[in-house]
């Protein structure tokens, strides 16, 4: 039986890409809940690109993780000890309890989830296709992208947790869907397993020509997760009144200075004006009110075989730092989930 609580703290703010020295693992005693509190044992920890931004000190959409504080992260856990009227021992919950084995909570921000049905998706999907990434894809595409039957949708980071769901919803809505991913293996998966019409390797020397050929009717919706070379290739292909939900900028997260080379901003702004492009950044919490609607549709799509998912699982909390570092380099293939402790539903 475990007697200590391992926690990963933010040791320092990284300059560029995080390293092993960015994190510090400490051990503390397993906490006991006070009145109105509950103790949660972490089963699964989600790792996501947004975590890199939370390590910085500058103003953003959320408060940065303080140096010396437990690293931020979404989790699925089980209630082991409750003194809270709304939760009982054994309840499965989704929350944001961070990089640690055990956490205390007052119940704020927790959501109960049901054990999986036979043959159904595991509880870890509450961090992926049925969690924040899935809701991000659903709300960003439908509220901002507004895909219409017959339109062309291009999705950056198409094999990732968000992009894979965006493209599949685009197909459900009747779009021609073109994905962009890093490597031929990911591209094959996106087409053969997820059903995209095409997927292009952004590392290819002739990527720009390939994208133009894959979008003969140009681009109506571009779901942005990456920026960099992918965005530069998309800009000349926008149709009039195209829409661009901006979800992430993975290519920029580890930058310490502005990129060199030609200034592409004039090209982008000309496209915005000439094509009357609607470009809008968003954060998923704007759309929390649509969570029940999303879950109802997504669960049915999974049952119908219209929505598939892939998890990239890593065993052991101690591997969280190296796995996040790799994620920011594109080394993962699917939604990254760290297995922290045994899953009681398996």
Nearest CA-CA partner of 315 in 299, 337, 287, 332: 337
Intervals of CATH 3.90.180.10 along the chain: 4-128+309-339
Tens digits of per-residue pLDDT, 179-227?
A: 999 999 999 999 999 999 999 999 999 999 999 999 999 999 999 988 7
What percent of the chain shows pLDDT beyond 70? 97
Residue in the structure block whose two tokens are 């290819």: 204
As a whole number, mean pLDDT of residues 226-251 equals 89
Q: Which CATH number fits domain 132-285: 3.30.360.10, 3.40.50.300, 3.40.50.720, 1.20.1440.230?
A: 3.40.50.720
Distance CA 86, CA 73 (A): 23
Per DSSP, the residues of 121-180 read --GGGGGTTTSHHHHHHHHIIIIII---TT-EEEESSTTSTTHHHHHHHHHHTT-EEEEE
pLDDT of 331 strictly over 60: yes
The reported pTM is: 0.89
Supply the CATH classification number for the domain 4-128+309-339: 3.90.180.10
**CATH 3.40.50.720 domain extents, the chain:** 132-285
Q: When comparing pLDDT for 248 and 250, which is higher?
A: 248
Q: What is the CA radius of gyration of the chain?
A: 21
pLDDT value of residue 148: 98
Q: Which residues of 228-325 form beta strands (DSSP E)?
A: 238-246, 278-281, 311-315
Categorize the per-residue pLDDT at 23 as very low, low, confident or very high, splitting at 50, 70 and 90.
Answer: very high
Q: Which two tokens mark 121?
A: 């998706």
pLDDT digits (tens, 9 = 90+) for 120-143: 899 999 999 999 999 999 999 999
CB 4 within 8 A of CB 31: no
């Amino acid at each position: 039986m475990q007697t200590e609580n391992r926690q990963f703290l933010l040791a320092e703010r990284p300059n560029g890409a995080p390293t092993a020295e960015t994190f510090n693992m400490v051990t503390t005693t397993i906490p006991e809940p006070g009145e109105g509190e509950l103790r949660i044992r972490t089963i699964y920890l989600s790792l996501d690109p947004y975590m890199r931004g939370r390590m910085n000190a500058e103003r953003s959409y959320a408060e940065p993780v303080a140096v010396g504080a437990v690293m931020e992260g979404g989790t699925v856990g089980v209630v082991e000890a409750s003194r809270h009227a709304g939760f009982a021992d054994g309840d499965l919950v989704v929350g944001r309890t961070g990089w640690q084995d055990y956490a205390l909570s007052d119940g704020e921000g927790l959501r109960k989830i049901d054990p999986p049905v036979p043959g159904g998706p595991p509880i870890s999907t509450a961090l992926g296709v049925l969690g924040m990434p899935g809701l991000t894809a659903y709300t960003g595409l439908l509220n901002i992208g507004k895909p219409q039957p017959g339109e062309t949708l291009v999705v950056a980071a198409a094999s990732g947790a968000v992009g894979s769901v965006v493209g599949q919803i685009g197909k459900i809505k009747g779009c021609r869907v073109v994905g962009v991913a890093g490597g031929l293996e990911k591209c094959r998966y996106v087409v053969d397993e997820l059903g995209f019409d095409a997927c292009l390797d952004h590392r290819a020397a002739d990527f720009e020509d390939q994208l133009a050929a894959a979008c003969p009717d140009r681009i109506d919706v571009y779901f942005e997760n990456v920026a960099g070379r992918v965005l530069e290739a998309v800009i000349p292909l926008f149709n009039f009144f195209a829409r661009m939900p901006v979800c992430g900028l993975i290519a920029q997260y580890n930058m310490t200075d502005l990129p060199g080379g030609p200034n592409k901003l004039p090209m982008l702004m000309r496209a915005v004006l000439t094509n009357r492009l609607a470009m809008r950044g968003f954060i998923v919490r704007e759309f929390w009110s649509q969570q029940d609607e999303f879950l109802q549709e997504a669960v049915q799509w999974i049952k119908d075989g219209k929505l598939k998912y892939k998890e990239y699982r890593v065993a052991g909390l101690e591997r969280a730092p190296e796995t996040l570092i790799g994620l920011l380099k594109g080394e993962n293939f699917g939604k990254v989930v760290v297995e922290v402790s045994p899953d009681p539903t398996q």
